Amino acid sequence: MKAFAALYRRLDSATSTRAKQAAMVAFFAAAKADPAQWASAAWAVYFLAGGKPRQTAPTRLLWRLAVEGSGYPDWLCSECYGAVGDLAEMLSLILPEGGAGEEFSLDQWMRERLLPLPSLGEEERYARLRRWAEELPSDERLAFFKLITGELRVGVSRLQVVKALAEVAGVDEGRMAQRLIGYSQARRIPTAADFEALIGEVLHAEAQALDSGKPYPFYLAQSWSRPLADMLPALGPPSDWIVEWKFDGIRAELLKRGDDWRLWSRGEELISDAYPDLEPLARALPSGVALDGELVVLIPPTGEYSADSLDGLALFASLQQRLGRKVVSEKTLRELPVAFIAYDLLEIDGRDIRAEPQHERRAALERLVDRVFAEAKERGARLPLRISPTVAAETWEELATKREQARALLREGLMLKAREGAYGIGRRKGDDRTNVWWKWKLDPMSVDAVVIYAERGHGRRSGVFTDYTFAVWSAGEEAPARELVPFAKAYSGLTDAEIREMDAIVRRTTVETFGPVRSVAPTQVFELGFEGIAPSRRHRSGVAVRFPRMLRWRRDKPVAEADTLDALKALLAGKGE
Amino acid sequence: MDLIVATDRGLYCPAGDFHIDPWRPVPRAVITHAHSDHARFGSDVYVCHRDTAPILLKRLGDVAIETAAYGEILTRNGVELSLHPAGHVLGSAQIRVSAKGETWVASGDYKLESDGVSPAFEPIRCHVFITESTFGLPIYRWRAQAEIFAAIDLWRRENIAAGRASLLFAYALGKAQRVLAHVDPALGPIVCHGAVEAINALYREAGVALPPTRLATEIADKREYSRALILAPPSAAASPWLRRFGDYSDALASGWMQVRGNRRRRSLDRGFALSDHADWPGLVGAIEATGAERILATHGSAGALTRYLREKGLDARTLETAYGDDEDTSDGGARESEA
């Protein structure tokens, strides 16, 4: 625990990527040299790569520890929490000086102490937590509480973890990225063997077997947001690109190895069990195949359809009802069936073809899908498989026009994939024209909305009022009585200077305080953008918006002239047009 | 009638006809210390400790000043006025006001730990205590300064080993001199920003021993920077003045650095929670030591502190003032309050 707490402090205090990298490399190298540390190092990788175990103690117990352990009243602990913005950190600051308890390794802490906690009774759990908190040295407490709350990320990206491990193991980063896939899944218990498999230079048979169910790391797209006029000079002609729709589903990789199939989410969670609808598709695929694509809800037409037909595509809101469900009912499978829209082929006949150009992979994908479709047709089977249709055009202007239809087609925009590009790792690119995927999304929908509540942020925004609730008017200005109806919360889109200014405004214009939330006098209008809008019975406004964020501070706009609920709902109606 | 009342110009003693740390011009201003939120321009006469006077002259220009030593009693209209060490910065004083058997103390800013560059805080018995509460939450519990300076020295050693300068932001008045008096002078040269060096001179004139310091313009060989400690006020952050130092690691010495978010928001390499204000145990201990039955709190988390004291059975209230930070303490010193 000492070594891990020290690593945590180093990563937390380092601002440069270089320093963080050096700290991780030093930590992993020291662990590599000492097999007794492998199990703890495996946990360290798990946490740094974003792994979150089930919370071993509920927030309720941590709060009780803050109050009883510090001896301060509940309201004072709340004040402290407000100033810190992080429960683990608040606990580490408010509890009396720690002790000099016996050293336990991170692995012992996790397996022997924390993971068994949920099986104990409430009082026993609390008693143990309190004892541990008293025994732990003060400078290890923050890392300890972070293990419980699971918010352990310290500004280290997964790619940085991959780089550090690759350096220590002496393998290339692509290999390490693949070894790391699935590593940080929720309920996983990392072991010494896992760390050994990560840092081993040669994969022996056992590790290879472990590897067989692992997908390739996802290649992520960059946002294209420059003006249309820039496209030809920067990107060359559209003929250099494979253009497809950008779907509004979830990204997934479908793997078939031997008789086994697996579906991996972009968050690198294994999600096969949640989508039994894909079973017939997986069975129909040959062994040694990896498909990259989008999982969507799609109600298949009753008649014939081609492999690139997207008839029956449903709103993202339908897919949302399938997300996060472990057990899927017959009814759900009937009413909200999913399909896999394939758009890339990474492996065929067990051969990794990611280095081949995009257009060749596309051709191989078309051949594979045609073959699978034809075989299914012979058997009279209908497969939940589609191939992402390409969008053809001579000019960027023409494509821009087609892009405008995206919303009506329930899509987010277009994808541009360099014809000659390889399938990369993560969000990395070469220059603008090669080895890159661009997402060319529609401009978001937007309304002018009024800030009516504010909350403090977390992490580097802790203590500052950065999270706002936005409202629109229930009726137009001429209405005799109207009110502001909240419809969205947003916290991104402002510069640090604007945040400071808003923070001061919130403090100055606070009307009432309800716990962490302050209601403020309606004085500020923002242009609030969002990606999608759907009817909602849970929200008072009757709508729910996706990815709301602040596009612009409308200092020019009086509150009275902010948009109305009708204007917001008009966007809802506009969707189907 | 209360001996001291809050007015729109600042704390006021009607019986003695003087203000304490007024934020608008008044005929007679008694000043606790020379930080800019306590000593403002425009009053006719300033009364302060004699070590505060040179700093006031430096900051406010040629103003009329009457000085007193600690413990010296000045009587006016039957009101006794005296200054007592507050331990905040050089010359900082608590203001004791006494009349007709009743004693009030206005603390100004104070800290309990002796910092080696200003006389240590002295608890004064009183009936009513007007206390600051900049860090009035239990999460503010300072480490002993020896521990913090050891951490600063270690940070410097790491920087020297990596061949880069150590740039430490610290308030020019008080904090910077406290740092100077405690860091290891053998590690390398110490370079001070002009604003810091001007105050250093006043401290030295007052008899405070500080290690040798230099201005950046006095460094001819730039290679010296890679071993140097550079002390600058927080307002110098992101200024062109920093360009000359090449590769450096930056840090801020401030009580606000107790909370990680405040450091991360400023994108600093390091934050050292070193404060010239009392921490929570300090505030509660100081209040207790006065024996006062009535407490008035200003600055920072006054609301939390007074509610806590009320629940302990004291008559405690918040006094609205224009000192220091605004009502909330968590800004991380983004405003230039001297924390």
**B246 and B123 share a domain?**
no
Query: Among A574, A242, A553, A571, which Cα is nearest to A420's?
Result: A242
pLDDT, one tens digit per residue, over A4-39 is 999 998 898 877 888 899 999 999 999 999 999 999
Measured between CA atoms, how close is A519 to chain B, in angstroms?
A: 16
What is the distance between the alpha carbons of residues A348 and A281, in angstroms, rounded to a whole number? 16
Name chain B contacts of A93, Cβ cutoff 8 Å.
138-139, 141, 258-259
Q: How many CB pairs under 8 A join A and B?
A: 82
The answer to the question of residue B337 being in a domain is: no
For residue A371, the Cα-to-chain-centroid distance in whole angstroms is 34
B327 token code pair = 């009502």
Name chain B contacts of A14, Cβ cutoff 8 Å.
269
With cut-offs at 50, 70 and 90, classify the pLDDT of residue B325: very low
State the residue for tokens 């014809």: A419
- More reliable by pLDDT, B306 or B330: B306
pLDDT, one tens digit per residue, over B97-151 is 999 999 999 999 999 999 999 999 999 999 999 999 999 999 999 999 999 999 9
For residue B223, what is the domain's CATH number? 3.40.50.12650
Alpha helices in A380-421 (DSSP H): 396-403
What is the distance between the alpha carbons of residues B98 and B190, in angstroms, rounded to a whole number? 45
What number is the average pLDDT over the span B311-318? 93
What is the distance between the alpha carbons of residues A199 and B270, in angstroms, rounded to a whole number? 32
List residues of A whose CB lies inside 8 A of any B CB.
12-16, 70, 72-73, 75-76, 79-80, 82-86, 89-90, 93-94, 456, 458-464, 496, 500, 503-504, 507
Query: Within 10 A of A21 (CB to CB), how many other CB atoms are there?
Result: 18
Measured between CA atoms, how close is B23 to chain A, in angstroms?
A: 20
**B284 and B312 share a domain?**
yes
> What single-letter DSSP state applies at residue A462?
B
Measured between CA atoms, how close is A290 to chain B, in angstroms?
A: 41
**B112 and B192 share a domain?**
no
Q: Is the pLDDT of residue A208 over 60?
A: no
Give the one of A14, A94, A461 whose C-beta lies nearest to B139's C-beta: A94
What is the distance between the alpha carbons of residues A35 and B111, in angstroms, rounded to a whole number? 50
Decide if B329 and A496 are in contact by the 8 Å CB cutoff: no
With cut-offs at 50, 70 and 90, classify the pLDDT of residue A122: very high
Give the one of B269, B329, B330 whose C-beta lies nearest to A15's C-beta: B269
Q: What is the model's pLDDT at position A423?
A: 92
Domains of chain A: 222-441 (3.30.470.30), 445-574 (2.40.50.140)
pLDDT, one tens digit per residue, over A370-416 is 999 999 989 988 899 999 999 999 999 999 999 988 888 888 899 99
State the residue for tokens 């009307």: A511
The answer to the question of residue B323 being in a domain is: no
For residue A126, the Cα-to-chain-centroid distance in whole angstroms is 32
Residue type, A57: A
Range of lowest pLDDT (A94-108, A204-218, A245-259): A204-218
Q: Are strands B128-132 and B294-298 parallel, antiparallel or unpaired?
A: parallel
**B80 and B60 share a domain?**
yes
**B231 and B244 share a domain?**
yes
Name chain B contacts of A12, Cβ cutoff 8 Å.
260
**B268 and B280 share a domain?**
no
Measured between CA atoms, how close is B194 to chain A, in angstroms?
A: 27
- More reliable by pLDDT, A201 or A74: A74
Average pLDDT taken over every residue of chain A = 88
Q: Is the pLDDT of residue B309 over 70?
A: yes
**B115 and B164 share a domain?**
no
**Closest residue on chain B to A19 (Cα):** B269
Q: What is the model's pLDDT at position A428?
A: 66
**B88 and B153 share a domain?**
no
The dihedral through the CA atoms of A251, A307, A399, A298 has a sign that is negative
What is the distance between the alpha carbons of residues A224 and A231, in angstroms, rounded to a whole number? 9
**B169 and B187 share a domain?**
yes
C-alpha dist (Å) from residue A284 to A279, A373, A383:
9, 9, 8
Q: What is the model's pLDDT at position A212?
A: 64
What is the distance between the alpha carbons of residues B106 and B148, in angstroms, rounded to a whole number? 29
The answer to the question of residue B328 being in a domain is: no
With cut-offs at 50, 70 and 90, classify the pLDDT of residue B322: low
pLDDT, one tens digit per residue, over A422-478 is 998 877 656 777 778 999 988 878 899 999 999 988 777 777 899 999 999 998 888
Alpha helices in A34-115 (DSSP H): 38-48, 59-70, 74-84, 87-94, 106-107
What is the distance between the alpha carbons of residues A320 and A258, in angstroms, rounded to a whole number? 31
**B150 and B47 share a domain?**
no
Mutate to test the interface with B, among A10, A12, A13, A17 (most CBs of B within 10 A): A13
Name chain B contacts of A10, Cβ cutoff 8 Å.
none
Name chain A contacts of B308, Cβ cutoff 8 Å.
72-73, 76
Decide if A82 and B330 are in contact by the 8 Å CB cutoff: yes
Decide if B138 and A70 are in contact by the 8 Å CB cutoff: yes
The total number of structural domains in chain B stands at: 2
Q: Is A504 exposed, middle or buried (0-12, 13-18, 19+ CB in 10 A)?
A: middle
Catalytic residues of A: 246
Query: Within 10 A of A567 (CB to CB), how many other CB atoms are there?
Result: 14
The answer to the question of residue B200 being in a domain is: yes
What is the distance between the alpha carbons of residues B104 and A353, in angstroms, rounded to a whole number? 83
With cut-offs at 50, 70 and 90, classify the pLDDT of residue A507: confident
Residues 255-294 of B with CB under 8 A from A: 258-265, 267-270
What is the distance between the alpha carbons of residues A433 and A391, in angstroms, rounded to a whole number? 18
pLDDT, one tens digit per residue, over A531-574 is 888 888 888 888 989 889 999 898 888 898 899 998 888 887 65
Mutate to test the interface with B, among A18, A79, A86 (most CBs of B within 10 A): A79
Q: What is the model's pLDDT at position A363?
A: 97
Decide if A84 and B301 are in contact by the 8 Å CB cutoff: no
Q: State which of B272, B299, B334 marks the end of a domain.
A: B272
pLDDT, one tens digit per residue, over B24-66 is 999 999 999 999 889 999 999 999 999 999 999 999 989 999 9
> Given CB atoms, is B320 within the 8 Å cutoff of chain A?
no
> What single-letter DSSP state applies at residue B183?
S
What is the distance between the alpha carbons of residues A524 and A558, in angstroms, rounded to a whole number? 8
pLDDT, one tens digit per residue, over A77-109 is 999 998 898 899 999 999 998 888 788 999 999
**B42 and B71 share a domain?**
yes
Q: Is the pLDDT of residue A513 over 70?
A: yes
Name chain A contacts of B268, Cβ cutoff 8 Å.
15
The answer to the question of residue B87 being in a domain is: yes
For residue B276, the Cα-to-chain-centroid distance in whole angstroms is 5
Name chain A contacts of B263, Cβ cutoff 8 Å.
13
Mutate to test the interface with A, among B133, B134, B137 (most CBs of A within 10 A): B137
The answer to the question of residue B339 being in a domain is: no
Cβ neighbours for A514, distance < 8 A, ≥ 6 positions apart: none
- Point out which residues pair with B15 in neighbouring strands: none
Percent of chain B having pLDDT more than 90?
81
Average pLDDT taken over every residue of chain B = 91
Query: Within 10 A of A187 (CB to CB), how many other CB atoms are there?
Result: 8
What is the distance between the alpha carbons of residues A418 and A398, in angstroms, rounded to a whole number? 18
> Given CB atoms, is B162 within the 8 Å cutoff of chain A?
no
Q: A90-103 burial by CB neighbour count: b if 16+ within 10 A, else e? A: bbbbbbeebeeeee
Name chain A contacts of B164, Cβ cutoff 8 Å.
none
C-alpha dist (Å) from residue B147 to B142, B152, B207, B285:
10, 9, 26, 21
ipTM of the complex: 0.91
Measured between CA atoms, how close is A95 to chain B, in angstroms?
A: 8
Q: Is the pLDDT of residue A206 over 50?
A: no
> What single-letter DSSP state applies at residue A156?
-
What number is the average pLDDT over the span A246-259? 91
Q: Is the pLDDT of residue B331 over 60?
A: no
Q: Is the pLDDT of residue A175 over 80?
A: no
Phi, psi of B217 (to 5 degrees): -70, -15
Q: What is the model's pLDDT at position A389?
A: 95
What is the distance between the alpha carbons of residues A217 and A264, in angstroms, rounded to a whole number? 10
Domain with B199 in it = 145-272
pLDDT, one tens digit per residue, over B58-88 is 999 899 999 999 999 999 999 999 999 999 9
Q: Is the pLDDT of residue B336 over 90?
A: no
**B178 and B122 share a domain?**
no
Q: Is A143 exposed, middle or buried (0-12, 13-18, 19+ CB in 10 A)?
A: buried
pLDDT, one tens digit per residue, over B222-247 is 888 999 999 999 999 888 899 899 89
Decide if B301 and A79 are in contact by the 8 Å CB cutoff: yes
For residue B54, what is the domain's CATH number? 3.60.15.10
The answer to the question of residue B324 being in a domain is: no
* pTM summary value: 0.74
Measured between CA atoms, how close is A517 to chain B, in angstroms?
A: 14
The answer to the question of residue B335 being in a domain is: no
Q: What is the model's pLDDT at position A129?
A: 95
